Amino acid sequence: MRSSRRSPPKEAATRTYVARRLAIAALTLLGMSVIIFVLLRLAPGNMVDILFSTGGYVSESDKQSIMKELGIDRPVWIQYVDWLREILTGNLGKSYRYDLPAWEIIKPLLPVTIELAILSTIIAVLLGVPTGVISAVRQDTTLDYALRVFSLAGLSMPSFWLGMVIILVLVGWLGWIPPMTYVSPTENLKIHLVQFLLPALAVGYRSSALITRITRSALLEVMREDYIRTAWAKGQSGWIVIWRHALKNAMLPVITVIGIEFAFLIGGLVVTETVFNLPGVARFLVEAVLWRDYPVVQNLVMFIAIVVILSNLFVDMLYGWLDPRVRYGD
C-alpha cells in the first residue's frame, strides 16, 4: 500500500516561505554591502582629497594623518570587516564630513522621505486604480481614449518638472508660493501637509499613470474569463461584477507595480526633494556621495536596499491574501 505524505498546513508553509525569503534577503544584503563598499572605493578621490583640493594646498604628512584618523589608510577588506562589525553592534559609524555619528544624521532624513513616498503612493493608487477600471470598462470609447492620453502624459512628464510647473502656476495665478523651508508637523501641521501635498501630487501623478495602464490591461484580460461571463449571464449588477470579481483577480500585477513604485520612491526622489527643498534621504545621499562620506552613503544605500527587499516580500504576502489559490510551499 502506497503511503501518502500529508502536505504541511498553510500557516507552516507560509512561515517556511517567509523564513526562506528572509535568509535570501540576508544574503542579498551581504552581497549589496560588498558592491556598495567596493564601488565607493573605486570612485576617484576620497574625503581627504576633496578637503585638500578645496583648501588649495597639499601636505602629505597632514594628508596621511587625516587618512589614518578616518581609518581609510588601511586595506579595503579590513575597512569592510570593521564596517560589518559596527553594523552588527548597532554602530553605524561616524560621518567624515560632520564628525557626528552617522545615525544622528540619517535619523531625521528617514521620516521625510518615507512620508513623501507613502503620500505619493496613496495618491497614485487612489488616482490610478479607478482610472484604469473606468478605462477598461469603457474600452475604445472617447472616455477610454481620454484617460489613456492622461496616463501617457503622466508617463512622459518627469515628476520634478511637473513640480516646478505647479509652483509656477501657484505663483502666477494665485500669487502664492508654498513654503520652501522644511516645516515639521509638530511646528505647524497645516503648512507641513501643504508642503508635502504638492510634491506628492507631482510624484503620485506619474506613478498613477503606470498603475492606470497596468490596471486597464489586467482587468481587460480578466473580463474575458468564463466566470466573468457567467456572472454577467446570472444578471448580477455590472459594478458588483467589476469590483468584487474581476478587479480582485486582476489586482496581482497591480499590487506588484505598486510595491515596486514605492520602493523606487524611497531612493528616487532626488530632484523632487531638491525642487521642493525637502531634507530627505535621496537628496542627502547625492551630497554624501559628492563628499565621499563613506559611512553615510553606505548606510543610506543599505537602507534603500532593505526597503526594496521588504517591499517585495510584503507584496508576495499580499498575493496569498488576495488570491487563495496562491500557495507558499515546495
Give me the DSSP letters along 237-299: -HHHIIIIIIHHHHHHHHHHHHHHHHHHHHHS-HHHHHHTT---HHHHHHHHHHTT-HHHHHH
Amino acid code (one letter) for 106: I
The candidate with the shortest Cα–Cα distance to 202, out of 93, 275, 297, 294, is: 275
pTM: 0.81
Q: Classify residue 56 as left (phi > 0), alpha (psi -120 to 50) or beta.
A: left
For position 119, what pLDDT does the model report?
92
Contact 89, 167 (CB under 8 A): no
For position 2, what pLDDT does the model report?
46
DSSP state of 8: P
The candidate with the shortest Cα–Cα distance to 285, out of 306, 262, 264, 301, is: 301
What is the tens place of the pLDDT at every residue in 279-292? 888 888 888 888 78
| Distance between CA atoms of residues 61 and 174, nearest Å | 59
Amino acid code (one letter) for 43: A
Question: From the CB of residue 69, how many other CB atoms can be counted at a distance below 10 Å?
Answer: 11
| Distance between CA atoms of residues 118 and 265, nearest Å | 9
Contact 291, 154 (CB under 8 A): no
For position 101, what pLDDT does the model report?
85
**Domain residue spans in the chain?**
20-108+279-330, 110-251
For position 236, what pLDDT does the model report?
65
Contact 178, 228 (CB under 8 A): no
| Distance between CA atoms of residues 77 and 34, nearest Å | 10
| Distance between CA atoms of residues 289 and 80, nearest Å | 18
For position 125, what pLDDT does the model report?
92
| Distance between CA atoms of residues 302 and 88, nearest Å | 13
Question: From the CB of residue 188, how many other CB atoms can be counted at a distance below 10 Å?
Answer: 13
For position 126, what pLDDT does the model report?
93
For position 4, what pLDDT does the model report?
45
Phi, psi of 101 (to 5 degrees): -55, 135
Amino acid code (one letter) for 80: Y
Name every residue whose Cβ is closer than 8 Å to that of residue 315 and which is 6 or more positions away in sequence.
255, 256, 258, 259
For position 323, what pLDDT does the model report?
66
Element (H, E) at 115: helix 109-137
| Distance between CA atoms of residues 326 and 330, nearest Å | 12
For position 252, what pLDDT does the model report?
84
Q: What is the pLDDT along the chain (330 residues), one digit of tens a residue?
A: 444 444 456 677 777 877 888 888 888 888 888 888 888 888 776 667 666 666 566 666 766 777 776 777 778 888 888 888 888 887 788 887 888 888 888 888 888 888 989 999 999 999 999 999 888 888 888 988 998 888 888 888 877 778 778 888 877 787 777 777 888 888 888 888 888 888 888 888 888 988 999 999 988 888 877 777 777 777 666 677 777 777 777 888 888 889 888 888 887 777 788 878 888 888 888 888 887 888 888 888 888 888 888 888 888 777 777 766 666 655
Grid coordinates of 217: 490591461
DSSP state of 180: -
For position 50, what pLDDT does the model report?
67
For position 3, what pLDDT does the model report?
45
